[in-house]
Structure 1
Amino acid sequence: MSEDCGTIRVRGIVQGVGFRPYVYAAAVALNIRGTVKNIGSEVEILAIGDHFDQFVAAIRHGPTRAVIDSVTVTPLIGPAPFNNFSILTSSEGARSGMIPPDIAICDECLADITNPESRYYRYWATSCVNCGPRYSILDQLPYDRQRTTMDTFPVCEDCRAEYSNPASRRHHAQTIACPTCGPGVRLYDRNGDEIGEEEPIDEAAARLAAGEIVALKGIGGFHIACTEAAAPQLKERLGRTKQPFAVMVTPARADRIAQINEGEQQALTGIEHPIVVLVKRDRNALKGISNLHTIGCMLPYTGLHHLLFSALADHATDLLVMTSANMPGYPMITDLSEAVTHLSGVADCFLSHDRRIVNRCDDSVIRDGYLIRLSRGYAPLRTRIPLGDRCILGVGAELNVNATIYRDGFAITSPHIGNVRNPKTLQYLEQTIETLGGLLGAEYDLIVHDLHPRFLSTRFAERLGDELGAEVIAVQHHRAHIAATTQEPCVGIAIDGVGYGDDRTIWGGEIFAGETLHLDRVGHLESVSMPGGDLATRFPERMLYGLLPDDTVLDLLDERGWSEVERRALQQQVAKQINTPLTSSTGRVLDAMAALLGICRERTYDGEPAMVLESVAAEGTPHSWDLEYRTEDGAEVLSTRALVRKAFNEYRSLDRPGTRSGQQQRADLAASIQFNLARGIAGMAVRAADEQGLSVVALSGGVAINAMIRETIHTIVCKHGLTFRMNDRYPPGDGCVSFGQVVYGGKKMD
């Protein structure tokens, strides 16, 4: 009886996931002869044997970390002189797949580094085919050690033996390394001079416990770490005295400080190990780290982290502030010399390793099951979506930017890049697109950018289009948000801080109806003045006057110390409309309300007024208010001035802030502000759905992260028998815009 045979081609995320060792093991188990190798970003298998069909079935299943798009079987051409099964050297080929994201150390490798009998005992860079860095160390495809930054570290005989052993989980693990041959970790002082400690991780732990601030190099870049006691000093050194920081904690400590539901527990302990924003058990706890009712928590996710926390246990420490070492919105710092240059006045010492980081990767952030920041563990994110045969690039907008490339039925979104407001972050955007495009073999037919003509990302898209001869188109910011959320006919709600509108005003509280290419603006928040433009975002009391430009607000500002000259200048600016752009932004309404309550008079970090307002509102009970609507140019408009007037009158009747009753009334008022704003937005969406005969309501925008606003809209939409949609793979904030741009571009080219 003749044996079955064939050439098997596997496409998808099939490199960096242990696919070749998996195929080898299946072949040996089923007595299959042949070969397997990486070709481009695919895997090619030549196979012959009596159990060929069972072998193909096993391949279709694949290893745990693989994402298989297709398995095709074609006749084996030519003779099949195979005596056994072997793994061959990789070669160039098609770029239909993608490398997986970096993932947390697995339980087996963690057991190795804590086992005194293991040759990996206390080795910080221990990994296997199931865990560790991938994207951050990759130079080129196919994925082999010589195309990663591990190429600098030739393997020792023991590692080579494991690498060659089919029974080992490190069989063909490209990141295999041990204390003998792998990258090392060292401690440096604030000047970058090595501190000659035999146990640098233990010494770093001792210094942390003594109150020092330590910069440490992780998978995707540098973090700054300190204990709770040193947190105020860190904030002072960074000039971010009010900004909440994330913490890295042991699982037991996480449970003591925060309320953790099942979904949050799964996120904390999953292979991605993101920062998870949790509600504190005691809102007054850890106030030196976060003065909100929430705190971002993550568990140790690398061998280095686990070893550091093991050493900290000797100092009775199970919590560290762990924040990115870069300035907000700027790229992660990846190089020791750069870290010393920029952090010498912040960090007391540097715990660094000598494995080069090719592709920066910040920590991902999740709240209530939704991504706030798409990065380590989740990105590059690969999404199957049929958008035709053209290759499309979406460059994002300005804030929380990432890039998305569409090719051959898949959209691949990069990790978080930052705020493209400066040359350095723009350069990082360009580098990321070059890297991702190279890995995918992208040749762009279309480049899509934001409608705003002055964004650095817009100018880059236009320049790149000229260089490549690609078509370049713009898509309005909030329509990109809705396109990222759903491509079906819908009413789309886009609520955020800023987006350039069709009428050249600042949008941010929008109701659309239709589908991707034809989303008509059928409703929005009232357009109001932003006195001083960006100055109104920094000093939200200016926004309060822009919403309610009358003497009552000027009197309030007088009580708060505004001089007569300042008040008169503000009054004249609004009256004469000097540098007072119009905005329908939901974020600016929340800013003004926070200013009214006196809980945020100056914004010191992005989103601060709205975040503080939400934190105060978490203790309150909302009350329904009458809402006012009108029609302008065929669109329904919610009067935010009426909302502010109601809130202002309520505020004037509050008891003194220092009293318990005053605090509760303030919380109730904050809750009522959010609740009624959400009611008004949801009401417009429901009426639009009824008028347009649509059954789906999609919600996007950074304000959708606010739990009360999101859930109020969700409840009202569902109460009216409509289907509610939010994107559960991309952030509701601007981290979804590049994907939405690609979707829009693909539909446009159909």
Structure 2
Amino acid sequence: MQKCGIIVVKGIVQGVGFRPFVYSLAEKYNISGSVQNLGSEVRVVACGDNFDSFLSEIGKGTPLSKIDSVDVLDYSGAAVSGFYIDKSSSGTLSGFIPADVSICDDCIDDIRDKNGRYFSYWATSCVNCGPRYSIILDVPYDRERTTMDEFPLCAGCRKEYEDPLSRRHHAQTIACRNCGPGLFLYDRSGNPVECTDPLEKAAEFLDAGHIMAIRGIGGFHIACTESSASCLKERLGRTEQALAIMAGRMSFIDSVAYVSDEEREILRGPEHPVVVLVKRERDSLCEVSNLDTIGIMLPYSGLHHLLFDNLKAPFLIMTSANSPGNPMITEYETALLKLRSSVDYFLTHNRVIKNRCDDSVVRDGYIIRMSRGYAPKRTSADLGGRCILAVGPELNSNITVYKGGFCYTSPHVGNVRNPSTLDYLKETVHKMTAITGAEYDIIAHDMHPQFLSTRYAKELSDISGAQLIPVQHHRAHIAAVCTKPCVGIAIDGVGLGDDGTVWGGEVFAGCVPELERVGHLETVDMPGGDLATRFPERMLYGILPDDLTAGILAGRGMSELELNVLDRQVKAGINVAKTSSTGRVLDAASALLGICREKTYDGEPAMKLEASASAGTPAKWEREFKTESGCRVFQTSSLLRRARAEYLSGTDVSDIAASFQYNLAAGIAEIAVESAGILGYDKVAVSGGVAYNKMIRETVINIIRSHDLIPVLNRDFPLGDGCISYGQAVYAGKMKG
């Protein structure tokens, strides 16, 4: 029986209460020795008769830890009396810092205990909850390397911090109203609002219909009650966009939306994301969301819970204060400058947000936006010994670092077409590089030469000498899902293809990195390029450029001059991109049915088409295919032509929308199934933003399963472009170097 040893624990063991956890176990099993942070692993010197039991318990970890390995080394040092937490020192960077998590139930009880130290204190937390990534400056994770360092502990907090029996033992975020960060309320001119309790006053203003910017864990939100929803949308210039809400109680969510057991678990989990739910009544909360779905989250910080304790309204609209595609606003001074025309008041605090983090979004168990709670994300991956940086796509971007058997993926960054978001991408690379101690051998990027992320990759390569590896957008989608031999379906908006056209409805076959394009949607005209994404009727005419389409558009007010210009543009091929994008075909169908004639936010035409289809019954239509350059091609023009015939004959729009979605999904699934049969593969990977559409996704899955094949979809990363940087890293790592 072993009685002494050095225990080395690797994994996510920083910022998760691991050292106090080990300390308490040492007390329980009468172990002498010490525990110490070494970079991002924990080293335990342990001696005692109960060594084996102590070791077994350590391997179970804490609620927020993720243990990769527990190794025991010989110890030949002098015996020590007692057990203590040793001062941290730098060492290996094999682990990582966990994401920010919601306040735990014990801390919620604390802030409602009128006789307790933490009563009504908004920044209450313990070793099991609260901010982590958003406040860290450097590793190892200790208070002096977080933004909490500027708040010295009072005697009461110091006592708990040093008490092995307290769940705040060595909790780096511990604070109370006597020593921790404070809350402040200002009007839109930056003048302090006189009040005894900023939260109580803020709730009063919100109930009165005022709009408020609220600084939370990872940045600012804009909040208001339902009565001010239209006003908020007007001020933000987002009159059509659905907004997320925060509900004070689960009972309210149950009253307005259908909630499965899985969705209930996600809502209440430590991540507390926004969960997209189907409304019980299609026209309910229409000022918040004009779709058949609505995004809802529960309060996830002490500030939120205390706000709802004072609020009469059952829910708040809670939307990110940044404009779409731009990084979260974290500083009060910036918020005051940019939001004073949109909000009436500012509720803020003086804890520095070092690393911004937006709300995560989940639908049907699939991640849409991977941020607070889910990222930064650490994933085991066998990609060899080279260190890789993957800088991601252009839209919905994030970055991934691969080092030593693990991928580290950042929270959502945004649209790097925006200069401020590109700066945020660079900032994120710098932060993730520092935390992981990475020195890059490879930099993977999108193959589009004009993307700003591609240019940034080249700049980094010039400085570091790292090898550049371009990765085609849709192959990165498949690489993020499956590295075994498979057929892969990638259905999304846009991505530069091998042939210089815009891809987006692709079927591949092979094993990463050898993925051959074996099928795709028909390549169609996209008049005006990006202009066709804003005005999807242009997309409709690009696919069906004839008198019937012209008549429909003329009937809606398009002038003869506009139609003539559009027709000449298509016939001459002037400024006409070629695309096989699934998203653009859905846009055209939405325009045909009069559901969305102008896009005002990303994905609007397709999302509104899906909402309409939810009330319809799909019919099976004849589907046409051809073979072109060795690929099976699904003729989407024939599908749109059938939809037009149904529309002109007076068929219910919802039924047409449902039929279009069903047959589009069935067509691309049939190509995949046929390819799998020819090649003898049993797996079909599915990825891309269009797969969030429930009817399309389930149609594809059902057809795959009906042919005794295995559908593979990613629940660890977004189906959309939030998986691209991870896919780029996997693809680059699998290439022979």
Per the normalisation by structure 2, the TM-score is 0.99
Give distance in 1, aligned partners of 2:679 and 2:600: 42
SS at match of 1:61: coil
**Retained in 1: the 8 A contact 2:325–2:418?**
no
Q: Indicate yes or no: 2:109 matched with 1:111.
A: yes
SS at match of 1:195: coil
Give distance in 2, aligned partners of 1:271 and 1:749: 39
Q: Indicate yes or no: 2:681 matched with 1:714.
A: no
**Correspondence for 1:303:** 302
Q: Indicate yes or no: 2:21 matched with 1:22.
A: yes
Q: Indicate yes or no: 2:19 matched with 1:32.
A: no
**Correspondence for 2:720:** 733
**Correspondence for 1:684:** 671
Counterpart amino acid of 1:465? S
Aligned partner of 2:588 among 565, 572, 592: 592
Give distance in 2, aligned partners of 1:482 and 1:101: 26
**Correspondence for 1:724:** 711
SS at match of 1:648: helix
SS at match of 1:485: coil
SS at match of 2:506: strand
Give distance in 2, aligned partners of 1:325 and 1:89: 40
SS at match of 1:194: coil
Q: Indicate yes or no: 2:194 matched with 1:208.
A: no
SS at match of 2:59: helix
CA gap 1:629/1:3 in 2 versus in 1, 3 angstroms? closer
**Correspondence for 1:346:** 342
State the Cα deviation string for residues 146-183 of structure 1 (Å, max 9, x = none).
00000010000000000011111101100000010000
Give distance in 2, aligned partners of 1:40 and 1:749: 31
Cα drift, residue 77 of structure 1: 3.6
Counterpart amino acid of 1:727? N
Cα drift, residue 56 of structure 1: 1.1
Cα drift, residue 518 of structure 1: 0.8
Detail structure 1 runs of 4+ shifted over 6 Å in the superposition: none
**Correspondence for 1:659:** none
Give distance in 2, aligned partners of 1:483 and 1:603: 30
Cα drift, residue 506 of structure 1: 0.2
SS at match of 1:718: helix
Q: How does 1:306-321 map to 2 (within 5 A)?
A: 306-312=305-311, 315=312, 317-321=313-317
SS at match of 1:230: helix
**Correspondence for 2:128:** 130
Counterpart amino acid of 1:432? T
Give distance in 2, aligned partners of 1:196 and 1:409: 54
State the Cα deviation string for residues 220-277 of structure 1 (Å, max 9, x = none).
0000000001000000000000000000002111111100000000000001000000
Give distance in 1, aligned partners of 2:356 and 2:61: 29
**Correspondence for 2:481:** 485
Give distance in 2, aligned partners of 1:77 and 1:503: 65
Aligned partner of 1:696 among 662, 667, 683: 683
Counterpart amino acid of 2:295? G
Give distance in 2, aligned partners of 1:644 and 1:107: 52
State the Cα deviation string for residues 342-371 of structure 1 (Å, max 9, x = none).
001001010001000000000000000000
Aligned partner of 1:532 among 523, 528, 531: 528
Counterpart amino acid of 1:574? V
CA gap 1:528/1:93 in 2 versus in 1, 3 angstroms? same
Aligned partner of 1:666 among 614, 631, 653: 653
Aligned partner of 1:184 among 182, 185, 190: 182
Q: Indicate yes or no: 2:630 matched with 1:630.
A: no
Aligned partner of 1:413 among 382, 386, 409: 409
**Retained in 1: the 8 A contact 2:484–2:512?**
yes
Cα drift, residue 78 of structure 1: 2.9
State the Cα deviation string for residues 603-623 of structure 1 (Å, max 9, x = none).
000000000000000011000
State the Cα deviation string for residues 404-446 of structure 1 (Å, max 9, x = none).
0011111010000001102110010010011011000010010
Counterpart amino acid of 1:45? V
State the Cα deviation string for residues 643-693 of structure 1 (Å, max 9, x = none).
0100000000116xxxxxxxxx11111000000000101000000101111
Give distance in 1, aligned partners of 2:736 and 2:151: 47
Give distance in 1, aligned partners of 2:736 and 2:268: 42
Give distance in 2, aligned partners of 1:254 and 1:38: 42
SS at match of 1:565: helix
**Correspondence for 2:461:** 465
State the Cα deviation string for residues 45-82 of structure 1 (Å, max 9, x = none).
111111111111111111121100111111114323x1
Give distance in 2, aligned partners of 1:547 and 1:414: 38
Give distance in 2, aligned partners of 1:465 and 1:695: 39
Give distance in 1, aligned partners of 2:90 and 2:289: 50
State the Cα deviation string for residues 367-423 of structure 1 (Å, max 9, x = none).
000000000001011111111111101100101001000111110100000011021
State the Cα deviation string for residues 308-334 of structure 1 (Å, max 9, x = none).
11100xx3x111100000000000000
**Correspondence for 1:498:** 494
Give distance in 1, aligned partners of 2:679 and 2:389: 32
Counterpart amino acid of 1:197? C
Give distance in 1, aligned partners of 2:235 and 2:320: 14
**Correspondence for 2:360:** 364
Q: Indicate yes or no: 2:370 matched with 1:374.
A: yes
Give distance in 1, aligned partners of 2:469 and 2:2: 55
Q: Indicate yes or no: 2:59 matched with 1:60.
A: yes
Counterpart amino acid of 1:603? K
Aligned partner of 2:606 among 607, 610, 613: 610
Measured on the aligned residues, the alpha-carbon RMSD in Å equals 0.8
Cα drift, residue 216 of structure 1: 0.2
Cα drift, residue 3 of structure 1: 7.1
SS at match of 1:472: strand
**Correspondence for 1:159:** 157
**Correspondence for 2:250:** 251
**Correspondence for 1:5:** 4
Cα drift, residue 714 of structure 1: 0.1
Counterpart amino acid of 2:50? H
Between the two proteins, the alignment pairs up a number of residues equal to 736
SS at match of 2:735: helix
**Retained in 1: the 8 A contact 2:15–2:141?**
yes
Aligned partner of 1:234 among 210, 232, 242: 232
SS at match of 1:229: helix
Counterpart amino acid of 2:712? R
Counterpart amino acid of 2:267? L
**Correspondence for 1:270:** 269
Aligned partner of 1:144 among 142, 159, 163: 142
Cα drift, residue 196 of structure 1: 2.3
**Correspondence for 1:520:** 516
**Correspondence for 1:660:** none
Q: Which moved more, 1:191-200 or 1:630-639?
A: 191-200
Give distance in 2, aligned partners of 1:192 and 1:488: 57
Counterpart amino acid of 1:186? F
Counterpart amino acid of 2:481? T
State the Cα deviation string for residues 460-492 of structure 1 (Å, max 9, x = none).
001101111111110100000000000000000
Cα drift, residue 194 of structure 1: 1.6
Gaps of 5+ in 1: 656-664
Give distance in 1, aligned partners of 2:365 and 2:629: 38
State the Cα deviation string for residues 558-578 of structure 1 (Å, max 9, x = none).
100011110000000000000
Give distance in 1, aligned partners of 2:330 and 2:558: 44
**Correspondence for 1:261:** 260
**Correspondence for 1:662:** none
**Correspondence for 2:382:** 386
